[in-house]
Structure 1
Amino acid sequence: MAITATGWLITSDVVHEAAFRIDIPEQDRGRWVLSYLPTNRRLSRNQAMAGMVLAEMIVLEQPHPAGLDHEVAQLHATELDCTLHDVMSLLALRAPAGSTEPEPPVGPTDDRLRSAAALAHGVTSFAA
């Protein structure tokens, strides 16, 4: 997990998310925006950092669901005024297309013996 933080930008080498500081002259100047949250949400720097850490925790633990420390993750989500489920859903919606390819069905090679669900995984079957 490598998060890079400067005075105006927080990035990660694990997730394709970022947080940036608003520097235009307006009432929210100095507040932060997190890329996976709605754009009207303004955060403190600590909240933005918690959001980046949480995004990395979720993405790094995807292959190992039992490995996610739900208590720590929930604390980070609470700091963002969100639930852990909300954050996971927002990150899932932003996942790159094709990032979770379905596994090919395992079963008989004769199409007559395969289920409709197995055939729906991109396999075309023609009856003669």
Structure 2
Amino acid sequence: MTIHTTEWTMTSDITPEAAFRDTDTADGWHLSWLPDRQLTRAQALAGMRLDELLSDPHMVHDRMTQARVDVYADELGILREQAVILLAKRMAARLEKELRPKGDPTPPGHGPRTGRSLTHTIEPPFVHG
């Protein structure tokens, strides 16, 4: 797990989420998975570390990892469960987009006759508290 940082971005080698420096403020940052919150650089880094820990299925049951997750979530002012839900929704949206036929702007299961039923269900990752 490595977070690559520059003056303007933070990216991960295991997750597609990222942090970006806000061009409108001197030291404001935003996380791709928490876009409506302006953060400090330290908070953005905590958000990236949180995402990496939650993205590693081998760490789900590790107590020390869960304690670190709680510390990073607290630094962002959210609960671990909120972070899991937000990241799971982002993952589900990416998967749904990948499953959409090329050139079809309508998400699967949202056509005029199909209503809201999907052809399959995308399950978010499960994390024990």
Please give the range of the TM-score, normalised by the shorter of the 2 chains.
0.5 to 0.7
Q: Deviations over 1:83-108 (max 9, x none)?
A: 0000011000011317xxxxxxxxxx
* CA-to-aligned-CA distance 1:33-78 (integer Å, 9 cap, x gap): 00001x3200000000000001000001x25521362111100000
Structure in which a larger fraction of residues adopt strand: 2
Q: Which runs of 5+ in 2 are unaligned?
A: 97-119, 121-129
> 8 Å contact 2:3–2:13 — kept in the other structure?
yes
Distance 1:51 1:64 in 2: 17
CA distance in 1, matches of 2:40, 2:14: 22
Report the alpha carbon displacement of residue 11 of structure 1 after superposing the two structures with TM. 0.4
Distance in 1 (CA, whole Å) between partners of 2:71 and 2:59 is 20
Instruction: After TM superposition, give the deviation of residue 30 of structure 1 in Å.
Output: 2.2
Distance 1:30 1:88 in 2: 26
Q: Based on CA coordinates, which of the two structures has the bigger radius of gyration?
A: 1
Equivalent of 2:80 in 84, 90, 93: 84
Equivalent pairs, count: 95
Determine what percentage of the aligned residue pairs are the same residue. 36
| Change in 2 beyond 3 A, CA 1:88/1:10 | same
Q: TM-score, normalised by structure 1?
A: 0.67
Structure 2 CA distance for aligned equivalents of residues 17 and 64 of structure 1: 18
Q: Is the 8 A contact 2:53 2:59 kept in 1?
A: no
TM-score by length of 2: 0.67
Q: Which residue of 1 aligns with 2:23?
A: 23
State the secondary structure of the residue aligned to 2:78: coil
Unpaired segments of 5 or more residues in structure 1?
99-120, 122-128
3-state SS in 2 of match to 1:56: helix
Q: Please point out which of 12, 32, 36 is paired with 1:35.
A: 32
The Cα RMSD (Å) is: 2.0
Moved over 2 A (4+): 62-65
Is the Cα contact below 8 Å between 2:54 and 2:60 reproduced in 1?
Answer: no
Alpha-carbon separation, structure 2, partners of 1:82 and 1:4 = 24
Q: CA 1:59/1:23 → structure 2, altered by over 3 Å: closer, same or farther?
A: same
CA pair 4-63 structure 1, distance change in 2 beyond 3 A: same
